A and B are shown apart, each in its own frame.
Chain A
């Protein structure tokens, strides 16, 4: 069964460093998303992406964040200068149509020290 994959599973970085989290969405899907879950808190929406542009973003998704689809299969989230409060599990998701079921990847645990 097709699934969303994410790499790495765990990333440790120092405050102020740049990180890139990678995702491979399900192959025929057109809509891509990033969410995050801080330990013990709710899953939060960060951004949605369609047709090579951001369709919606939350207030969390400030200038430190960017997304890119560099080729036909990958979808990346870049955090330019990480802060301690960026430590969280980051989930990538994809859907075939905008209102349809979103399928989530296993997540990347980001630890900022």
Chain B
């Protein structure tokens, strides 16, 4: 059974510092990995999708890497801003159809001005 872990559970950084968020998964037979942002009481906003054949994906200040063999992904957020404060979730796609997402517990990020 796929298990997804995100460490640390919470992170506080001063504005301008780079953020590094970690995600690990137990079963390397994945189709893709998706990073989301969740604001309190809100839905999930998709940030990046990395297909299993890719090593990296970039969008603006965000960069996500994937090492399938070691079961790890890292999300980098450059030059953090107070508006980046949120919970960041990673989810791996697996299952018979490849689109069953298994989520980690999230990393709650606070960027202090």
Contacts from A to B (Cβ < 8 Å): 31, 33, 35, 42-45, 48, 50, 55-56, 58, 91, 95, 98-107
29 contacts between A and B (CB under 8 A): A31-B99, A33-B99, A33-B101, A42-B103, A42-B104, A43-B89, A43-B101, A43-B103, A45-B95, A45-B102, A48-B97, A55-B97, A56-B96, A91-B43, A98-B97, A98-B98, A98-B99, A99-B31, A99-B32, A99-B93, A99-B99, A100-B49, A101-B46, A102-B46, A102-B101, A104-B43, A104-B45, A106-B43, A107-B43
Contacting pair A95 B105 (CB below 8 A): no
In the bound assembly, the distance between CA atoms of A91 and B38 in angstroms comes to 12
How many whole Å from A103's CB to the nearest CB in chain B?
A: 6
In the bound assembly, the distance between CA atoms of A42 and B6 in angstroms comes to 11
B76 at the interface (CB under 8 A from A): no
Q: CB-CB contacts of B28-39 with A at 8 A, as 1s and 0s? A: 000110101000
How many whole Å from B88's CB to the nearest CB in chain A?
A: 13
Nearest chain B residue, comparing its CB with the CB of A109: B41
Contacting pair A56 B95 (CB below 8 A): yes
How many whole Å from B26's CB to the nearest CB in chain A?
A: 14
Majority-rule SS of A interface residues = strand
Contacting pair B44 A43 (CB below 8 A): yes
Contacts from B to A (Cβ < 8 Å): 31-32, 34, 36, 42-46, 49, 51, 89, 91, 93, 95-106
Contacting pair B103 A44 (CB below 8 A): yes
Measured between beta carbons, the chain A residues less than 8 angstroms from B46 are 101-104
In the bound assembly, the distance between CA atoms of A80 and B97 in angstroms comes to 26
From known contacts A99-B32, A103-B46, infer whether A42 and B105 are also in contact, taking CB-CB under 8 Å: yes
How many whole Å from A34's CB to the nearest CB in chain B?
A: 11
Measured between beta carbons, the chain B residues less than 8 angstroms from A101 are 34, 46, 49
From known contacts A42-B103, A43-B103, infer whether A104 and B44 are also in contact, taking CB-CB under 8 Å: yes
Contacting pair B51 A99 (CB below 8 A): yes
- B51, B93, B96, most chain A CB atoms within 10 A: B93
In the bound assembly, the distance between CA atoms of A33 and B89 in angstroms comes to 18
